[in-house]
Structure 1
Amino acid sequence: MKKLIALSCLFCGIFGSAQSQESYTLAENTAKSSFSIATKKVTYDDHLMAAQSFSMSAIESFDDIDGYVILKKLVAVPEEGNGYTIEKLTHSKAFLNPRAKTVLEKIAGKFLEENNATITVTSLTRSEESQASLRRVNSNAAKGESSHNYGASFDLSYTKFNDKYTYSASQREKLEAILKELQEDGKIYYIKEYKQHCFHVTVRNPEQFKSTTM
């Protein structure tokens, strides 16, 4: 009987140890996976694929915008909103897909709430024609198709707050912190464009990229 009890205790110890090791390994793998997602280098191809996932054709000409508005694929974005201002646009129009507009408003609202300051939108939806024209003056502008051609992207200045140019590292870092959190949550992609002093933001399609509620 004593031998049976001893064997039983030995088995429990081995089994418990195996379970603990399995749990530790699972937790370690989960942490590594999360770290990998958070540190993945985001490319312009990622932005383009995310924009194309909304099942909307690239806008060839600004004349096409009215049709997309009728189809409810695009919505107008006011020049001023809660926490943001759109500067004078030269190569884009103030339209976005409904999801992108909502995300822009929430980014701006959160920044305003946390910093009592507004952000500046420098670019929104472009046509393929305007994209080609922009490449002549902006080397960052994508050759061929851009995520801006699908109404899913917008650019946010990191040197212009409260509608004034201010090279504030603190404001820039606070805005990027909001974007980084959203990217890690699977809501957006963003790239810091140094030459244009802006964050290029593309909203991801929740139908294809599952994530937590914003």
Structure 2
Amino acid sequence: MNSRRKTHRNSKRYIQWFGVTVIVLALFRCAFLGDSTTQTNAEEQVCLADDDSIANQEIVDVQESQDAQEQLNAQSPSISSAPSAIDWSKPHRIKGVANFDKAFPDSNHVQLISAHRWGVSPVKDREDAERRKCELVYIGSSPYYIIKPLTSSIPYLVPHAALLLEDIGRSFMDSLQAKGLPLHYAVVTSVLRSEYDVKRLRRHNGNATEQSCHLYGTTFDINYNLFAKVGDPEVCPKPDYGEARYKQVLSEVLNDLRQQGRCYVKYERKQPCFHITVR
């Protein structure tokens, strides 16, 4: 009997201890899982926060990029919104120069220094000029000016001077168009001269000098009383004489290029021309 009671008591204690153990393990498991869940949730929240931050940063970057592009577009208008180069409803006013002698005073002595710098050694005659084509450029044909039939010079210039002449002719036409005037060519009357040409010319031309800038291929003359109408069907366009407006427009072009340091200009009176040497 006592043995039975003792066995029953031991079994009861075992069950009690087992139950306590189970409860402790259950509590421990709940506590552990709770911390793990909390940590996982925290990590998920941090990840979500990071994703939101990245997404927000991308939105900010895109917005800043769009703002920068809009600012760039505002500073650099598109071609379609850019104003026309020439406003045909408002022709530009002809300004010209107040005094031709004061605006273009560059004497032969001044121009000769530049001719020595940029030019070739003087050619003896036309045959010598033909042999020097490696140093000279043929300027007998251009869409911006015409060469009057030459009797005392040859249609060649050094490349530096040929470019200047081309720019003068193109700028002259652009100015005529901007001012609403009919297009005319500038007329070139003298270019490269040989030593033989200079000697022969000095017999009847008081402006001709033995130390002529024309000897070096750096100098040319443009008539200020003679202009040729563009579109004339003749091979040699019929010239317009005494057109003061064209003279003023041409003087504007030459004055601008002279002030830019691209050329020297002398206003000649005995021979009606602008005597021009490249710089």
Query: 2:124 is matched by which residue type in structure 1?
Result: E
Counterpart selection for 1:132 from 196, 199, 214: 199
The alpha-carbon deviation at position 41 of structure 1 amounts to 4.0
- TM-score, normalisation: structure 1: 0.72
1:187/1:171 Cα in 2 relative to 1: closer, same or farther (>3 Å)?
same
List runs of 5+ in structure 2 lacking aligned partners.
1-101, 177-182, 229-236
Q: Residue 73 of structure 1 aligns to which amino acid in structure 2?
A: E
Percent sequence identity is 33
Q: Give the Cα–Cα distance (whole angstroms) in 2 for the partners of residues 97 and 62 of structure 1.
A: 16
Q: Which residue matches 1:47?
A: 111
Distance, in Å, in 1 between the alignment partners of 2:117 and 2:192 is: 16
The structure with the largest alpha-carbon Rg is 2
Q: Secondary structure at the match of 1:154?
A: strand
Residues 1:74 and 2:136 aligned together: yes
Shift of 1:40: 8.8
Write the distance in 2 (CA, Å) between the matches of 1:188 and 1:128. 24
The C-alpha deviation readout for 1:122-179, integer Å capped at 9, x for no partner, is: 010001110111111211111x221100000010011111141421221111111111
| CA distance in 1: counterparts of 2:226 and 2:121, whole angstroms | 32
Task: Give the drift of 1:82.
Answer: 1.7
What is the 5 A alignment of 1:1-214? 41-54=105-118, 56-69=120-133, 72-78=134-140, 80-115=141-176, 116-142=183-209, 144-162=210-228, 163=237, 164-204=239-279
Give the residue type in structure 1 aligned to 2:145: Y
Q: Give the Å deviation of 1:83.
A: 1.9
Aligned partner of residue 246 in structure 2, secondary structure: helix
1 CA distance for matches of 2:247 and 2:121? 33
Amino acid at match of 2:263: I
AA partner of residue 155 (structure 2): A
Task: State the Cα distance separating 1:60 from its structure 2 match.
Answer: 2.0
Q: Per the alignment, in what secondary structure is the counterpart of residue 118 of structure 1?
A: strand
Question: Normalising to structure 2: TM-score of the pair?
Answer: 0.56
Whether the aligned pair in 2 keeps the contact of 1:128 and 1:145 (CA below 8 Å) is no
Provide the secondary structure at the position in 1 that maps to 2:153: coil
**Partners of 1:120 and 1:202 in 2: how far apart?**
16
Secondary structure of 2:274's aligned partner: strand
The offset of 1:88, in angstroms, is 0.6
Q: Kindly tell me: are residues 40 and 161 of structure 1, through their superposed partners in 2, closer, same or farther at Cα, counting changes over 3 Å?
A: closer
Any idea what SS the aligned residue of 1:81 has?
coil
Aligned length: 163
Cα RMSD after superposing both structures: 1.7
